[in-house]
Structure 1
Amino acid sequence: MAFHEAIKQLSALMEQVDEQQRSTFQNMHQGYPTETLVRFLKAREWNVQKAHKMLMDCLNWRLQNDIDNILTKPIVPVDLYRAIRDSQLLGLSGYSKQGLPVFAIGVGQSTYDKASVHYYVQSHIQLNEYRDRIVFPSATENQGRHIGTCIKLLDMTGLKLSALSQIKLMTIISTVDDLNYPEKTETYYIVNAPYIFSSCWKVVKPLLQERTRKKVQVLQGCGRDELLKIMDYSSLPHFCRREGSGSSRYHSSSPGADNCFSLDHPFHRQLYDYVMRKAYGPESMMPVKQGSFHVNLPDPDPEGVKIAETIESEMHKFENQNIDGHINGLHI
């Protein structure tokens, strides 16, 4: 009963927004306003005032950064976009048996070193918006029920201490998601976790909110057998199909049709073609300018910063242990 009352109160507050805010809210909810209100309420533990502030901040962020039109702003030339796809490894590998989109993320081998921070943030937001405006509505139509969440598979293959240099950017991207796209992920499955991740996870896990912690499952090895309980083999990303396969960056030995990270994968081709049509189509009156789409980056959530700092600290400890072990080994 309290949940219904919270939804009712937040809905009444949303009736007071101005026309611009109402328009961008419609782009957000895609015909499912109540489900969207619930997401923000969940993200703020069903506190109506906090959820309202979070939602208003999100609407203003969308308006200030023209997020409604971000799918009309391609990253050009295509070679730059390919370089981003090669170094920011993520893609849609398929759907679960329940019809939820399955997104794969190559955490361990994403280098984020081929473009500026703004390009990576732009690319990430474009994928979010395409998911919300195209992928979810299509899945909803196919399933005959509302689909508004996805499954994420995080591949830790190749995770090294050099990942410390990426923590700041990953914290920025995570903050964009936490503040503006909350409660979009049903479950996070972590696969191919090396020892360095396992050590960090033991420390980070207690820092997470219970709601988030319940969503994270660390699977044995590539997780294939467990994942096949919730999705067909065809929806498994390449790094989950056999033990030791690992994720791989785009190259000739990793065909685009099989590698969901690659620009040549059908999902990324469809996404890129969609953005190009929106940019250069008949309704577009202005030529596309080259240059990144600069989004105002939100201040990282204090909890997110704390977690990132803890990860960094634990990885440094791991590095020092390795160095000490190596030095001791030399004296034996």
Structure 2
Amino acid sequence: MADESNPINEEDLKELKNRMNIIAQADPAQYHNDFSLRRYLKAFKTVDNAFQAILKTNKWRVEYGVADLENNKEIIEKYGDKARVLRHRDLIGRPIVYIPAKNHSSSDRNIDDLTKFIVYCLEDASKRCFEEVVDNLCIVFDLNNFTLSCMDYQVLKNLIWLLSRHYPERLGICLIINAPAFFSGCWAVIKGWLDDNTTSKVQFVNSEMDLCQYLIPDVLPTDM
């Protein structure tokens, strides 16, 4: 969904498209559509910065093997209870990534494999975007039955890095539901890693009635 408060300069978009078209002739895999280019321009501000960020993302995607992650059944099955991209969408059409934090243990995970699973989920959710309508995601952290043993700052750092560097402006809103009172201490740490734009997208939801402003509560899984 276009952010009318921060419109993209159409001349900048044209220049970025020209640069991308030149390298796409040599390597079609380098191509990004207009929606992607707009997201990079919004996130990185200038044509030069956006172009360099896209090249870094393209290089990372190849080296990380992003295209092959959907075939990595071992990781998908091993971490399948950590997150799920739902069939349903939020009220404005965003794909929903649901994360039941109670299923995570910071002492029982392989950080590299779990990060690959996170990328797999971000890829899956991004592919489900109806970009002409809305091109960003709704991430729901469900903190029901959350304990401090579930808190994993390194995993969150990895997620924040991925969203900022390789999935810029893909996060539309992050809902934190069922947060216990002690989570405020965790949030004070996490908030320090976020820029103002990202922080503004994080919403603490304290009741089912409030949740109904964003999505239909019945779409959230009860089997995880």
TM-score by length of 2: 0.81
> Over the residues paired in the alignment, what is the CA RMSD in angstroms?
2.8
Q: Which residue of 1 aligns with 2:20?
A: 14
2:134 to 138, 143, 147: 147
Structure 1 position 41 matched with structure 2 position 41: yes
Structure 1 position 106 matched with structure 2 position 90: no
Q: Which residue of 2 aligns with 1:216?
A: 202
Aligned length, in residue pairs: 218
Between 1:88-97 and 1:107-116, the stretch displaced more is: 107-116
| C-alpha distance in structure 2 between counterparts of 1:62 and 1:104, whole Å | 24
Relative distance call for 1:155 and 1:10 in structure 2 (3 A) is: same
TM superposition shift of 1:187 = 0.9
TM superposition shift of 1:183 = 1.1
> Quick check: which has more Rg, 1 or 2?
1
Relative distance call for 1:101 and 1:159 in structure 2 (3 A) is: same
Q: Which residue of 1 aligns with 2:3?
A: none
* Residue identity matched to 1:225: M
- Residue deviations 1:220-243 (CA, integer Å, cap 9, x gap): 2xx3111213333432x14xxxxx
| C-alpha distance in structure 2 between counterparts of 1:233 and 1:108, whole Å | 18
Q: Which residue of 2 aligns with 1:289?
A: none
Q: Which residue of 2 aligns with 1:85?
A: 80
Structure 1 gaps, min length 5: 239-257, 262-332
TM superposition shift of 1:58 = 0.1
Structure 1 position 189 matched with structure 2 position 150: no
| C-alpha distance in structure 2 between counterparts of 1:130 and 1:52, whole Å | 24
1:75 to 73, 76, 79: 73
SS at 1:147 equivalent = coil
Relative distance call for 1:101 and 1:180 in structure 2 (3 A) is: same
More strand by share: 2
Between 1:35-44 and 1:175-184, the stretch displaced more is: 175-184
| C-alpha distance in structure 2 between counterparts of 1:20 and 1:163, whole Å | 46
TM-score by length of 1: 0.57
Relative distance call for 1:117 and 1:151 in structure 2 (3 A) is: same
Q: Which residue of 1 aligns with 2:155?
A: 169
Q: Percent of pairs identical after alignment?
A: 19
| 8 Å CA contact 1:109, 1:158 repeated in 2 | no
1:119 to 104, 113, 124: 113
- Residue deviations 1:72-116 (CA, integer Å, cap 9, x gap): x2223xxx7444223x23442621232222221123542265553
- Residue deviations 1:267-305 (CA, integer Å, cap 9, x gap): xxxxxxxxxxxxxxxxxxxxxxxxxxxxxxxxxxxxxxx
TM superposition shift of 1:37 = 0.7
1:232 to 211, 216, 220: 216
